[in-house]
Amino acid sequence: MKKINSDIKSNTFERTYLIFGEESYLRSSYLSKLKSAIAGQGDSMNVNLFDGPGIDEASVIDICETLPFFSDRRLVILRNSLFFKNQTEKIADYIKEGLPDYLCLVFNEDEVDKRSRMFKAVNSAGYCAECKSPDDKTLIQWIVRSFMKSGKKIRVSEAEKLLVRLGPDMWTLSGEIHKLIDYSDGRDEVNESDIEAIASSNPSDAIFKMIEHIASGKNEEALRLYYDLLTLNEPPIKIISLIGREYRLILEAKELTNSRERDIAGQIGVPPFALKKYASIGERFSRDALLQLIKKCREIDYEVKSGQISDRLGVELLIMR
């Protein structure tokens, strides 16, 4: 990605780019940056978009061969074309023969086959940028920077809480960051109370809070959270599965307490900064109690799927154990 940022800064661009990978937010972000830098704002005459499978190769080449109108460049974007997975001859050959000086041909793809002729052609003639899902440390830094760009501060500890609450999807995080920026208008810092008031919860976060209430004997509070999830159209059978998963994570964290924190997090599949909450609540359950709870989740899951009880009743039985 540094290459794309450098090209934008220097205003010197490759004839072709491929932006691909699993993180669609990053793909969209870098495509938008390239579009603004190459075509500017409002230049619809020199920007052409082909979207989805079934794109006619000859039509793309015709557009690429069309001189820009009152501009130095023409930008042609192909999005989710599948040209990098299916056999494609014309455009691969067109790229290899040498693209016009005025042209910037950009591909935005979910998946590519790096062995394909298209990938090799673009990689040889231009630049291929893979957008992988960032790790937790990178996401936290990105959250902090996102607030800073809007003149807001957020502590790393609060950014961690936001990540735990929402999960790693960058589209979701971006939306909630903008909501928090608007909510904290007039203040230069976003705090935990803002996050509690505004940021949506992912189901796992709500399930963990339910378990905290169960451990404290606050079954009514746990039921309230459950009914909130129902209003958000979360399927009860999914909630049963998530409850079982959370109990397993608590047990695994409890049984690995003699290991290093980062090692434990890696073994049970949670971020190191999220480990503390599992270890903390694990102190409120015995090992046998957690094993029984996990077993109960399996039994309830079976009874629901076999039609012995309703899915809503199954969750209520787990809460009112």
Structure tokens at 75: 């930008």
The answer as to whether 1 is a domain residue is: no
Mean pLDDT of the chain, nearest integer: 87
pLDDT in tens, 297-312: 999 999 998 999 999 9
115 pLDDT exceeds 70? yes
The answer as to whether 20 is a domain residue is: yes
Co-location of 101 and 208 in the same domain:
no
Q: Say which CATH number the domain at 157 has.
A: 1.10.8.60
Q: Say which CATH number the domain at 248 has.
A: 1.20.272.10
Q: How confident is the model at residue 207 (pLDDT cuts 50, 70, 90)?
A: confident
Co-location of 186 and 244 in the same domain:
no
Co-location of 71 and 163 in the same domain:
no
Co-location of 28 and 113 in the same domain:
yes
21-43 mean pLDDT:
88
283 pLDDT exceeds 60? yes
| Single-letter amino acid, residue 74 | R
Co-location of 249 and 306 in the same domain:
yes
d(CA 129, CA 126) in angstroms, rounded, equals: 10
Co-location of 47 and 75 in the same domain:
yes
Number of domains in the chain: 3
The answer as to whether 285 is a domain residue is: yes
pLDDT value at position 267?
59
pLDDT value at position 246?
86
pLDDT value at position 288?
92
262 pLDDT exceeds 70? no
177 sits in which H/E element: helix 170-183
Sheet strands (E) in 52-102 = 74-79
DSSP string, 22-41: S-HHHHHHHHHHHHHHHH-S
Co-location of 20 and 109 in the same domain:
yes
Q: How confident is the model at residue 161 (pLDDT cuts 50, 70, 90)?
A: confident
| Single-letter amino acid, residue 171 | W
78-103 mean pLDDT:
91
pLDDT value at position 284?
87
Co-location of 113 and 154 in the same domain:
no
105: which strand partners? 16, 76
136 pLDDT exceeds 90? no
pLDDT value at position 258?
53
pLDDT in tens, 41-65: 776 789 999 998 889 999 999 999 9
The answer as to whether 51 is a domain residue is: yes
Co-location of 42 and 88 in the same domain:
yes
Co-location of 113 and 142 in the same domain:
no
Co-location of 192 and 214 in the same domain:
no
Co-location of 52 and 144 in the same domain:
no
Expressed as residue numbers, the domain containing 193 is: 138-198
210 pLDDT exceeds 90? no
80-84 mean pLDDT:
91
d(CA 79, CA 51) in angstroms, rounded, equals: 5
pLDDT value at position 122?
96
